[in-house]
Structure 1
Amino acid sequence: MEKLEAFLSSKLLPMSQKLQQNKVLAALMEGFIRTSPITLGIAFITIVGNFPIPGWTDYLTKIGIFQHVEAITNGATGVFALYVVYSLAYSYAKQLGSNERNSAIISLASFIMLMPQTVATTVMQDGQAVEQTIGALKLDFLGGQGLFIGMLTALLVTRFYAFLSRKNIMIKLPDSVPPMVTQSLAPVFVVTIIFVVVFVIRVLFGFTSSGSILQFFIDVINAPLNSLVASPLSIIIIMELLAVLWFFGIHNAVLQGPLGAISMTMVVSNIAAYQQGQALPYLIPSVIYMGMYAAGFMGFVTFFMIRSKSAKMKQLGKLSFIP
């Protein structure tokens, strides 16, 4: 046991400390935590609107309520990638000591610029169905399918913005100009450089068979990546690793950021598939994740808190049991 403790103290603990101090992982953790009110805030409406009672959704559709339930859900999880891009860029900019608001809004704009902005649809003209292309953004790319590219965009654009900002290629305005105006106009040259790079990336991927970087990621990388990191076995291994780290006093923040990316991709993709009447792509991994990590571990914790001799712990356990 002493050898094991010595190994953990000399090898694993320093590595864990370095990972916890990593700015990207810290930004990932904070970025996803900041978006949690959005997903938790719609929980009541989503659960009630999709309650598993035969005929319930049909009844809500008949009285004209279900479309509004879907609108609330889509307003949160359907465009979840947008919230992640802004929140992650803001958190990463804070880690880098850069302007948080500028980094966040520029990253969000870059992500939308990289997306396909036309959608093929069918419209009725003179009583006939006609194929037509309209200007629109697909919810698929704004939600789970665009989440990974959105994360990369937020991290890379924020890093690039911080790098260029340190080169002092800013517009110098007199002191008489209000600070808000100065902060908005000063990085114009920096933003121009970033958008030119985004333009080049968009053009290059436009020449591929996929047509865009988001579709390229879905066609080439998304399927094998999801089968690797979002499989039941991978989730079990991650959960066990978190438990082992926690047992030896190492905070699970080491893996919390990447884990949040995996779990939210599964949740958003499952919701989108359910709304379209399709099979849930991550049903088993989600059940394992919620059962082992969220519900399983916390269930044991609250059980023993209720049986604790400490009045404070006992009361806290009772308050935590239902949630």
Structure 2
Amino acid sequence: MADQETKGFGEKLNDFIMNKIAAPLARFGEIPIVTAIKDGLVASIPIIIIGSIFLLIGMLGLPGSFTENAIIPTFSDLTPKFLMLYNLTMNFLALYVAVAIAVSYAKIKKMDLLSAALLGLGAFLLMTIGEITEGTITVQPFSAQGLFTAIIVALLSVKIMELCIKNNIVIKMPDGVPPAVGNAFSSLIPYAIVFILTWLVRTVLGFDLVNFMAAVLTPLFAGVDNIFVFVARVFAEMLLWTVGMHGTAMVDTIFAPLRLQWVAENAAALADGVSRYELPYIWTTYTERMAIWPSAAWGLLFWMYFSKVKTVKVLAIAATPAAIFTIVEPIIFGVPIVMNPFFLIPFVLSAAVSSAVTYLSMQIGLVARVFIELPWATPPFIGGFLATGDWKAIVLVMVNFAIGVAIYYPFFKAFEKDQLQKQNLSL
């Protein structure tokens, strides 16, 4: 008790973040199911990025997408072909995720990856296709709408396979049989159990899990996409960074599935003719990246260039190439921001304020909403324009940068004064 009373504000705050925020999030992120979901979704990002790029290219040849006339008229005839690749990537997102998560979960459980991949794929198809009419099937469940069904089915399928293996409910082949043949036969009973269960649910009972999940979760998740939750998520991420935890990775464990579904639905809405300013969701991965680091990292970097402390200026020069691509660890751990009482407040506050400004700008229609998933290291002043197709996104990034510069000023001056005093004392 006495130790707690003698602790300063910074130490008490650090203890609170570590014990009440970081520790529970770390434990949550270590749950095998959560890890499998996270890794499976990350594996699908290249598919989403490629699909997004082809959607953007296709929109350039479509009148009314960005301007009254097509930006590149020669693309008009090719637009359907560009959109075909988009449809077979982003509009098949759930199909890819079902395979990726099944493999990811099997890897954690140290099971045969190929068997798990085929099991996840087959189970997802059986759970989403109820009938075949004149040789055709409905592929709508393969899109982002079926994302949560893919997650559930993939995890349950691999879990059933694991239980079969642990309880010896498998066909064992004699020693000397090639491993590929052995794995095929040992998977036979788990495959049969999973396939029969999914067939009974979807085809015999007629239960449509995709539509059920959409009816239950869509209103709930739509409510999550609001400025208060968005800013609170950013606030929590920045607090974790200040104590040396990778805040982005820890918080993303919770929100990554939602953001992937939202950007995919925005892309689908745009392809259906919805205005870029009226897409269904504001919160996407790149909305965060436009808001957070131009303010919280670049704002500090600006003042570092004008510092009277030579080591700080040298660090600014060294950290700039990485910071342009929002690789911010050199600043966070080099200045450092971590455990630094001078920068805790501006680091968190600048990100929170710029996040609120970014969200509001899109909510009231000043800036178009994001419909493209980009590599996380894309510089925000480039990525903002590419992700929204709106030049005003570049202005928004600059505004966020200015917010960071303004908020950091008094805190940086106090930090600089402290560093200079320490240098003088050491002479």
Place the TM-score, normalised by the shorter chain, in its bin. 0.7 to 0.9
| 2:83 counterpart of 1:74 | no
Uncovered stretches (5+) of structure 2, i.e. residues with no partner: 1-8, 61-65, 306-312, 327-378, 384-427
Q: TM-score, normalized by length of structure 2?
A: 0.63
Deviations 1:221-252 (CA, angstroms, capped at 9, x unpaired): 13322223334433333232222222333323
Percent identity for Structure 1 against Structure 2: 21
Q: Distance in 1 between matches of 2:72 and 2:15?
A: 62
Is contact 1:20–1:26 with CA below 8 Å preserved after alignment? Answer: yes
Q: Distance in 2 between matches of 1:137 and 1:303?
A: 52
Q: Distance in 2 between matches of 1:54 and 1:68?
A: 21
Is contact 2:29–2:253 with CA below 8 Å preserved after alignment? Answer: no
Q: Distance in 2 between matches of 1:46 and 1:212?
A: 29
Amino acid at match of 2:213: F
Amino acid at match of 2:15: A
Deviation at 1:116, TM superposition (A): 3.1
Is contact 2:58–2:75 with CA below 8 Å preserved after alignment? Answer: no
CA distance 1:232–1:138, change in 2 (3 Å):
farther
Deviations 1:194-223 (CA, angstroms, capped at 9, x unpaired): 2222123225751xxxx52212222x3133
What is the root-mean-square deviation of aligned Cα atoms in Å?
A: 2.7
Query: Could you tell me which of 317, 320, 324 is aligned with 1:314?
Result: 320
Give the structure 2 partner of residue 285 of structure 1. 283
- Mean alpha-carbon deviation: is it higher for 303-312 or for 172-181? 303-312
Is contact 2:17–2:239 with CA below 8 Å preserved after alignment? Answer: no
Deviation at 1:261, TM superposition (A): 0.5
Amino acid at match of 1:93: A
SS in 1 for 2:171: coil
Query: Is the strand fraction higher in 1 or 2?
Result: 1
Deviation at 1:157, TM superposition (A): 1.4
| 2:180 counterpart of 1:174 | no
Deviations 1:274-301 (CA, angstroms, capped at 9, x unpaired): 2122465524334xx633x211223243
Is contact 1:230–1:262 with CA below 8 Å preserved after alignment? Answer: no
Matches within 5 A, 1:122-201: 133-201=133-201
Deviation at 1:146, TM superposition (A): 0.5
Kindly tell me the number of residue pairs found equivalent between the two proteins. Answer: 301
CA distance 1:66–1:318, change in 2 (3 Å):
same
- Mean alpha-carbon deviation: is it higher for 65-74 or for 46-55? 46-55
Is contact 2:93–2:143 with CA below 8 Å preserved after alignment? Answer: yes
Give the structure 2 partner of residue 221 of structure 1. 216
Give the structure 2 partner of residue 244 of structure 1. 239
| 2:118 counterpart of 1:105 | yes
Is contact 2:270–2:279 with CA below 8 Å preserved after alignment? Answer: no
Q: Distance in 2 between matches of 1:172 and 1:232?
A: 56
Q: Distance in 1 between matches of 2:131 and 2:279?
A: 26
Deviation at 1:272, TM superposition (A): 1.3
Amino acid at match of 1:68: K
Q: TM-score, normalized by length of structure 1?
A: 0.82
Query: Could you tell me which of 22, 32, 38 is aligned with 2:47?
Result: 38
SS in 2 for 1:285: coil
Query: Could you tell me which of 272, 283, 293 is aligned with 1:298?
Result: 293
- Mean alpha-carbon deviation: is it higher for 25-34 or for 271-280? 271-280
Give the structure 2 partner of residue 50 of structure 1. 59
| 2:254 counterpart of 1:264 | no
Deviation at 1:193, TM superposition (A): 1.4
Amino acid at match of 1:316: A
Uncovered stretches (5+) of structure 1, i.e. residues with no partner: 120-132
Deviations 1:137-170 (CA, angstroms, capped at 9, x unpaired): 3342111110111111111211221122111222
Is contact 2:130–2:202 with CA below 8 Å preserved after alignment? Answer: no
CA distance 1:97–1:241, change in 2 (3 Å):
same
CA distance 1:232–1:8, change in 2 (3 Å):
closer
CA distance 1:186–1:149, change in 2 (3 Å):
same
Q: Distance in 2 between matches of 1:137 and 1:162?
A: 31
Q: Distance in 2 between matches of 1:317 and 1:11?
A: 30
Is contact 1:35–1:87 with CA below 8 Å preserved after alignment? Answer: yes
Q: Distance in 2 between matches of 1:182 and 1:269?
A: 42
SS in 1 for 2:273: coil
Deviation at 1:317, TM superposition (A): 3.4
Give the structure 1 partner of residue 372 of structure 2. none
Give the structure 2 partner of residue 123 of structure 1. none
- Which structure has the bigger radius of gyration? 2
Q: Distance in 2 between matches of 1:239 and 1:13?
A: 14
Give the structure 2 partner of residue 127 of structure 1. none
Is contact 1:106–1:191 with CA below 8 Å preserved after alignment? Answer: yes
Deviation at 1:12, TM superposition (A): 3.4
Is contact 1:104–1:158 with CA below 8 Å preserved after alignment? Answer: no
Is contact 1:229–1:262 with CA below 8 Å preserved after alignment? Answer: no
